[in-house]
Amino acid sequence: MRVNDMLKRSTRFLILMSTVLLSSNSFADWLNLTGKVKVISTYAHTNTIIVALEQKGSPIVGCSDTTSFAISKDLQPEARARMYSMALAAEASDSTITISYGGAANDCVKYDNNVSFRKIVRMIKN
């Protein structure tokens, strides 16, 4: 009985540690850029919102635009609206925000035939 209890505890511990390790790596590829909002662009033909900060950040292989970031049209409408509101508030108050964006080649938002932007995955108003 004792060996069985130890085996159960060891199994639980291994599952817990695996979960912690896997979840901590899920954000490891994010890049962060802090700055003031320079431009916010929206267009009638898409729900994608383009945000440019005063700083450009690191280019991402596969994303053709290196000056701006995109709030993807593929986000849930409420999540997209929260990010859009945060960008507008930062621009209106002349305060800084931190944009987190993916660092992998597939972390781009295709916009038009020849343009893709770095995808915003998190936004923090400072």
Instruction: Give the residue from 72, 68, 59, 67 showing the smallest Cα distance to 31.
Output: 59
Asked if the structure places residue 20 within a domain, the reply is: no
Task: Check if the beta carbon of residue 84 is closer than 8 Å to that of residue 71.
Answer: yes
Checking if the pLDDT of 120 tops 60, the result is: yes
Asked if the structure places residue 41 within a domain, the reply is: yes
pLDDT bucket at 15, cuts 50 / 70 / 90: low
Domain assignment of residue 53, given as a range? 30-125
Asked if the structure places residue 12 within a domain, the reply is: no
Query: Which pTM value belongs to this model?
Result: 0.76
Structure tokens at 80: 């997209």
How much is the average pLDDT of 60-80? 94
- For the chain, the domain total comes to 1
Percent helix / strand / coil, the chain, rounded to 5: 35, 35, 35
